[in-house]
Amino acid sequence: MTWKSELEELRRREELAERMGGEEKLARQHGRGKMDARARLAALVDDGSFREIGKIAGKASYDENGDLESVLPAPFLFGKALIEGRPVVATADDFTIRGGAADAGISRKMVQAEKMAHEMKLPIIRMIDGTGGGGSVKTLEAIGATYIPAVPGWGEVVKNLDTVPVVALALGPTAGLGAARTVASHYSIMVRGLSQIFAAGPAVVDGLGASYKSAADHQQAKEDLGGSEIHTRNGVVDDEVASEAEAFARARHFLSFMPEHVGQLARRSNCTDPVHRREDALLSLVPRDPKQVYSMRRCLEMVLDQGTVFEMGRNWGRAAITALARLNGYPVAVVASDPSFLGGSWEAKTSEKVERFVKLADQFRLPIIHLVDNPGFMIGREAEMAGTIRYGVNAMNAIYKATVPLASVVLRRAYGIAGSAMSNAETYQYRFCWPSGDWGSLPIAGGLEVAYKSELEAAEDPAAELEEIKARLNKVTSPFRSAERFNVEDIIDPRDTRPLLCEFAELAWRRLESE
C-alpha cells in the first residue's frame, strides 16, 4: 500500500495555489504593468533557489461529501531562498486575492515568516502590494462585532529590526498595515508611478468629507495622496526606482553590503581598484571662492572603490549624502556633506537622515567615513520652526554613541555645533584635513562688522579698514595655524585621501574582527 492518492491530492492543492487569484485577477494585475507575486519571487532571488513554505495554506471549499472543490490561497507567500548564494527569507503579498488583505489569509503565515528571519538569523525581504491589514467593513458585519485593533506578530517585526537586515519593496498601493510593514525596514524602495503608500487610501479619505477630497481620477488620487514623489522626499521611504526589475536589483545590491545578522561581519569583496590611486582632479575640486559649490559625489567616485557607491535616500535630507561603498573591498558607510544643497547646512530632514544612517552603520558594524563641508545647522525662522536643533543634536548623539571606527576628512567648512557633530571628539580622532579647510565656532565673514564695530566706526575709511581686518584674519584662519597647535591632526594633499582612507578601512576591519 502506498500514499499515491494523498500525494496526488498534494499535487492538486499545489496546482490550485499556483493559480493565485485566478486568470481574470492575474490578467488585471499584469494589465496594470505589475508582476504577480510568484513572478516577483522568482525575479528577486537566485534562479531556482526559492523553497516555498506553507504553499497549500488557504481557505478551502468542500462538497457535501467532504471532498475538496476549490482553494482560495492565502494572499501571502514566503520561503527560504538565496541571494548571491546567501540564505534569506523572501516574502510577497498576492494582490490578486482580495487586494492582499490579511483577512483573506492566515495571519500565522506572515508571523512565521518574520519569526523565521530573526530565529534563523536570515535577512528578510518584504514585497508589499496591498493593505496586508485587517480587512473591510464587510468583515465586521461577518464577525458580528468590532474590536480594538491589534497586529498579530508585530513584536516579531520589531525583533527583526534589531537582529537582521530588513528590506521592503512597495510594489503597488500599500495602505494601513502594508504601509507600516514598508516603513519598518532598514532599506525601502518604491516604484515610480506603480507604488503608493498611505495610512488610508483615497476612498477612505474622501469618505471623511469635502475637505479631504482628492483627485477625481482614482489612479491620480493615489499618486496625489501617497506617490513616490511624496514619500521619497519626506523620508518615509529611502529610494524610488523606475521599474520592479530595478527594485529587485537595488534590494540585492543593498544586501551585498550587509551581514546576514547582527553579530556577523559583512563580507569583503575582491578589489581591482588600486589602493594607492591618486586623482589629480582632487587638487582643484574645492574652489577658492567660498561661495562656489562643487560636486561631492564626484569626490566619492574618486576616493572610494570605483563603481561601488550605493547612495541611499538621495531625494530627501539632501544636504548630506548617505551611501554604502567599499574601500579596498571592505564595506563602509559614508556620510558626506553636499554643498550644492543649502550650502551643506544641515536642516531638520538632513539631520534625521544622518541619525538613521549612522545607527544603521553601527548596528551592522560598518566603519563610517565622514567627508565634511558643513557651515553649520540651518538657521532662520523656518529652521527654528522645524525644530532643526533637536534633530541636529539627535544626529550628533548618534555619532557620539556609535562604537564602530569613524574617519573624517574635512574638505572645507566645519562650523559651530554642527562642525563638532562631524565626529566624536572624545575618542581617538582618525581625521585628515585638506588645505582648503576652514573652521571655527562661527564663520568669520558673518561676524566681522559686529566684532569690530567700534574700530570700523572710528576709521576714516571704514571699507579699507574692513579689508585690512579681513586680511589679518585670513592668516589667523589658515588651517596650518590649527595644525601648529595640533588642533587638527594632519593637513594632507587631497590626492592622498584614497590611500589614507584605505589604510583606515584595513585598520577598522582589523579591530572589528577582533571584537
Q: Give the residue with greater pLDDT, 247 vs 215.
A: 247
> How many other CB atoms are there within 10 angstroms of residue 495's CB atom?
16
Q: What is the DSSP letter of 284?
A: G
- Quote the Cα angle for 411-414-415, to 5°: 160
Length of the chain: 515
**Which cell numbers in the block locate residue 154?**
508585530
Query: Do the beta carbons of residue 36 and residue 93 sit within 8 Å?
Result: no
pLDDT in tens, 162-188: 999 999 999 999 988 889 999 999 999
Report residue 415's pLDDT band, with 50, 70 and 90 as the boundaries. confident
Average pLDDT over residues 130-149: 68
Q: Which of 9-18, 33-42, 61-70, 362-371 has the lowest mean pLDDT?
A: 61-70
pLDDT in tens, 351-364: 999 999 999 999 99
Query: CA-to-CA distance for 352 and 276, rounded, in angstroms?
Result: 35
Average pLDDT over residues 107-124: 95
Query: Given this model, what pLDDT does residue 417 score?
Result: 85
| DSSP-based three-state secondary structure for 120 | helix
Task: Kindly state the percentage of the chain with pLDDT values over 90.
Answer: 65
CA 21, 23, 27, 28 dihedral sign is negative
Report residue 134's pLDDT band, with 50, 70 and 90 as the boundaries. low
Query: Given this model, what pLDDT does residue 390 score?
Result: 95
Question: Does residue 211 have a pLDDT over 50?
Answer: no
Query: Given this model, what pLDDT does residue 208 score?
Result: 46
Question: C-alpha dihedral over 26, 27, 31, 36, to 10 degrees?
Answer: 20
In sequence order, what DSSP letters do the residues of 131-175 get, joined into one string?
A: --SS--HHHHHHHTS------TTHHHHHHHHHHS-EEEEE-SEEE
Task: Kindly state the percentage of the chain with pLDDT values over 70.
Answer: 87
Q: What is the mean pLDDT of the chain?
A: 89
Question: Does residue 496 have a pLDDT over 60?
Answer: yes
Query: CA-to-CA distance for 105 and 98, rounded, in angstroms?
Result: 9
Query: Do the beta carbons of residue 116 and residue 86 sit within 8 Å?
Result: no
Q: Burial, 483: exposed, middle or buried (Cβ in 10 Å; 0-12, 13-18, 19+)? A: middle
Query: Given this model, what pLDDT does residue 231 score?
Result: 93
Question: Does residue 40 have a pLDDT over 60?
Answer: yes
Question: Does residue 100 have a pLDDT over 70?
Answer: no
Q: State the pTM of this model.
A: 0.91
CA 181, 256, 164, 18 dihedral sign is positive
**Which cell numbers in the block locate residue 98?**
482580495
Q: Give the residue with greater pLDDT, 503 vs 218.
A: 503
How far apart, in Å, are the Cα atoms of 450 and each of 442, 444, 455, 457? Answer: 13, 10, 10, 11
Extended beta strands in 161-307, E state: 166-170, 173-175, 187-191, 196-198, 239-241
Query: CA-to-CA distance for 220 and 152, rounded, in angstroms?
Result: 33
Query: Given this model, what pLDDT does residue 210 score?
Result: 46
Residue keyed to cell 485587517: 134
Q: Which of 84-88, 90-94, 429-433, 463-467 has the lowest mean pLDDT?
A: 463-467
Query: Given this model, what pLDDT does residue 218 score?
Result: 63
Residue keyed to cell 468590532: 146
Query: Given this model, what pLDDT does residue 69 score?
Result: 82
Question: Does residue 341 have a pLDDT over 80?
Answer: yes
Q: What is the DSSP letter of 341?
A: T
Query: CA-to-CA distance for 365 and 267, rounded, in angstroms?
Result: 11
Question: Does residue 209 have a pLDDT over 60?
Answer: no
**Which cell numbers in the block locate residue 141?**
458585519
The number of CA neighbours under 13 Å toward the Cβ of 236 is 20
Query: Given this model, what pLDDT does residue 106 score?
Result: 75
**CA distance from start to end of the chain:** 58
Q: Which of 116-130, 347-361, 379-393 has the lowest mean pLDDT?
A: 379-393
Q: Which of 42-56, 109-123, 261-275, 457-471 has the lowest mean pLDDT?
A: 457-471
Query: Given this model, what pLDDT does residue 203 score?
Result: 57
Average pLDDT over residues 77-103: 90
Query: CA-to-CA distance for 191 and 208, rounded, in angstroms?
Result: 28
Query: Given this model, what pLDDT does residue 66 score?
Result: 85
- Quote the Cα angle for 347-183-72, to 5°: 160
Report residue 201's pLDDT band, with 50, 70 and 90 as the boundaries. low
Query: Given this model, what pLDDT does residue 300 score?
Result: 98
Query: Do the beta carbons of residue 90 and residue 45 sit within 8 Å?
Result: yes
Report residue 148's pLDDT band, with 50, 70 and 90 as the boundaries. confident
Query: Given this model, what pLDDT does residue 459 score?
Result: 74
Average pLDDT over residues 414-439: 89
**Which cell numbers in the block locate residue 125?**
525581504
HEC string of 388-437 equals HHHHHHHHHHHHHHCCCCEEEEEEEEEEHHHHHCCCCCCCCCEEEECCCC
Question: Does residue 470 have a pLDDT over 70?
Answer: no
